[in-house]
């Protein structure tokens, strides 16, 4: 499976925008997660001393991705952490989409981590999740 993301320099001047894509819903979530983690800090500089299990369910994949990315911003603020990685599972039970995740990171430490942006929230501006054939795409703008 392949997934990717790229930052969109010409979309939002005061915010950060990115596109994510993947060969499956799971790959799309992984790409979007990677993009948001990279926006916050260099994950390779973040230890794994903090861990949280997270579950969400939603009728639409677009709603589920929005909730998940917003949750990352919430935990960044509520626990004062940045993230190393996340193990994800995304499934559709015929009715609802479900996400199960283990999010790992460490408290913010300017002496050991390469910190990048203090994301305030995920916006609905230009937000979209689409599927073309078997490939999934998302466009996300975050407020910094």
* CATH number, domain containing residue 124: 3.55.10.10
Given this model, what pLDDT does residue 9 score?
73
CA-atom Rg of the chain in angstroms: 14
**Contact (CB, 8 A) for 103 and 83:** yes
Supply 6's token pair. 């790229």
Which pLDDT belongs to residue 14?
61
In whole angstroms, what separates CA 109 from the centre of its chain?
21
- Predicted local confidence at residue 1, as pLDDT: 61
Task: Find, among 129, 121, 116, the residue nearest to 15 by Cα.
Answer: 121
pLDDT at 3: 87
In the chain, the number of structural domains is 1
∠17-23-27 over CA atoms, to 5°? 60
Q: Consecutive sets of 10 residues in the chain, 144 residues long: mean pLDDT of each?
A: 77 79 97 98 98 98 98 98 98 97 98 97 95 96 92
Domain of 117, in residue numbers: 3-143
How high is the pLDDT of residue 100?
Answer: 98
Q: What is the pLDDT of residue 103?
A: 98
Q: What is the pLDDT of residue 13?
A: 59
How far, in Å, are 7, 21, 118 from residue 80 at the CA level? 25, 29, 11
Helices (H), 1-144: 25-40, 61-79
Confidence (pLDDT) at 36:
98
């Amino acid at each position: 499976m392949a997934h990717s993301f790229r930052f969109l320099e010409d979309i939002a001047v005061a915010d950060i925008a990115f596109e994510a894509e993947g060969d499956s819903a799971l790959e799309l979530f992984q790409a979007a997660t990677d993009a948001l983690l990279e926006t916050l800090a260099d994950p390779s500089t973040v230890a794994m001393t903090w861990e949280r299990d997270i579950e969400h369910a939603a009728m639409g994949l677009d709603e589920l991705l929005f909730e998940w990315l917003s949750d990352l911003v919430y935990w960044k603020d509520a626990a004062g952490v940045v993230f190393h990685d996340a193990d994800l599972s995304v499934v559709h039970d015929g009715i609802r989409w479900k996400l199960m995740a283990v999010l790992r990171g460490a408290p913010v430490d300017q002496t050991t981590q390469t910190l990048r942006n203090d994301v305030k929230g995920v916006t609905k501006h230009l937000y979209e999740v689409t599927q073309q054939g078997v490939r999934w795409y998302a466009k996300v703008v975050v407020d910094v």
